[in-house]
Structure 1
Amino acid sequence: MLFFIDTANLPEIREAKAFGLIDGVTTNPTLFSKEISKEKGDWRDIAADVCREVDGPVSLEVVGLTAEEMIAEARDLVRFGSNVVVKIPMIPEGIKAVSALTALGIETNVTLVFSPLQALLAAKAGATYVSPFVGRLDGLAQDGMHLVQQILTIYANYGYATKVLVASVRHPRHVLDAAIMGAHAVTVPFAVLKSFAHHPLTDSGLEAFLKDWQKVIGTP
């Protein structure tokens, strides 16, 4: 499974890289707005830095609402680096844009996916990734992970190459379920990523081992 980090924050990306766990980055306008408010910088400078920092795919999102606007933005975004994947919203104009960008050889990530039929349209249009938002569905008392399973089944049925990138991840269980189902990738906030390594029994076990070792070496 590929691990993407969902952030536009360079220190977080660098720390995650130090663990050797990060295969790519996903961003969105909200994440950029947070960094701009902190740094008072330009989003283009941040995007360029992120693309240079990461070897794997970096999703950068368009904000236009027509296919023509999205295609023009995509052509601009890919100039940040050969690793740019253009995020396109799941709307009818977005599907038109994905079809056109696929024909141009530009990789895409269809975002804001909340139904299996939306994911099917994205795959038929040639999307590189499709991003089901599981946490937002859970927040409406729906089963986000059931959506992931439906998408994986449909893609397997017809041999679609589109990768399922599980998004809107709220907790480690989302990642565990996605891994069991065979999702290709997850994108997670840094805090969720760090939590994977923690378990209370690990902490208590290590504490016990260290106390016992003090007895071995005779240190009070």
Structure 2
Amino acid sequence: MKIFLDTANIDEIREAADIGVIEGVTTNPSLIAKEGRDFKATVKEICEIVHGPVSAEVIALDWEGMVAEGKELAAINEYIVVKVPFTKDGIKATSMLAAEGIDVNVTLVFSPNQALLAAKAGAAFISPFAGRLDDIGHDGIEIVSQCQDVVLNYDYEAEIIAASIRHTEHVRRCAEVGIDVATIPFKVLMQMMKHPLTDIGIDKFLEDWNKANQ
């Protein structure tokens, strides 16, 4: 399973990239606004750090605007993936951008039916939101898995990105059912590296070593 980092914080991205376990980054208008930086400059810098898919989201809601913004974003760097919301206009924009060889990530997906339409439109990535589905009483990871089954059934080239990941259990379940990609917050990535028994084991090794060499 590929791991993308869901953030626009340059320091977090640098640290995760230095560790060597992330293959891409997803951003959205909220994450960019949180950093208080220029949008295009930020995604360009992210591309220079990660050298993998970097999702940059359009602001327009009409297909003409999405296509125009998408082309501008794709011109920033070869790693840019244009992120569009799942709407009728978003799907139309996806098909048009994909026809021109521009990778698209269809976001705000909440059902296998939506995933099917996004795949048929030529999306390179499809992002069902696990955490937000959990919030309304569904099993988010199960629906993410159903979305992937739809794509695999018909050999579409789209990769499923499990988005709205809230905790390490979400990540574990994604890996268990074979989801293509999980995009996770920096905090969750750090939590994945921690286990109390690991810390206890290291302390015990050091204690034994010091005793043996007294």
TM-score, normalising length: structure 2: 0.97
For residues 128-174 of structure 1, give each alpha carbon's deviation from its aligned partner in whole angstroms, at most 9, with x where no partner exists: 00001001111122110110121122122211111011110001111
Match of residue 124 from structure 1? 120
Gaps of 5+ in 1: none
Q: Is contact 1:6-1:187 (8 Å) kept?
A: yes
CA RMSD of aligned residues (A): 1.0
Indicate the percent of aligned positions where both proteins have the same amino acid.
Answer: 50
Match of residue 131 from structure 2? 135
Match of residue 3 from structure 1? 3
Match of residue 53 from structure 1? 49
Q: Is contact 1:51-1:80 (8 Å) kept?
A: no
Gaps of 5+ in 2: none
User: How far apart, CA to CA, are the structure 2 residues paired with 1:153 and 1:43?
Assistant: 34
User: How far apart, CA to CA, are the structure 2 residues paired with 1:75 and 1:53?
Assistant: 22
Equivalent residue runs for 1:92-171 within 5 Å:
92-171=88-167
Corresponding position: 1:29 with 2:29: yes
Match of residue 75 from structure 1? 71
Match of residue 186 from structure 1? 182
User: How far apart, CA to CA, are the structure 2 residues paired with 1:95 and 1:43?
Assistant: 23
- SS of alignment partner, residue 3 of structure 2: strand
User: How far apart, CA to CA, are the structure 1 residues paired with 2:2 and 2:156?
Assistant: 18
- SS of alignment partner, residue 80 of structure 1: coil
User: How far apart, CA to CA, are the structure 2 residues paired with 1:50 and 1:156?
Assistant: 30
Question: How many residues end up aligned between the 2 structures?
Answer: 214
User: How far apart, CA to CA, are the structure 2 residues paired with 1:23 and 1:153?
Assistant: 23
User: How far apart, CA to CA, are the structure 2 residues paired with 1:48 and 1:153?
Assistant: 33
- SS of alignment partner, residue 75 of structure 2: helix
Moved over 3 A (4+): none
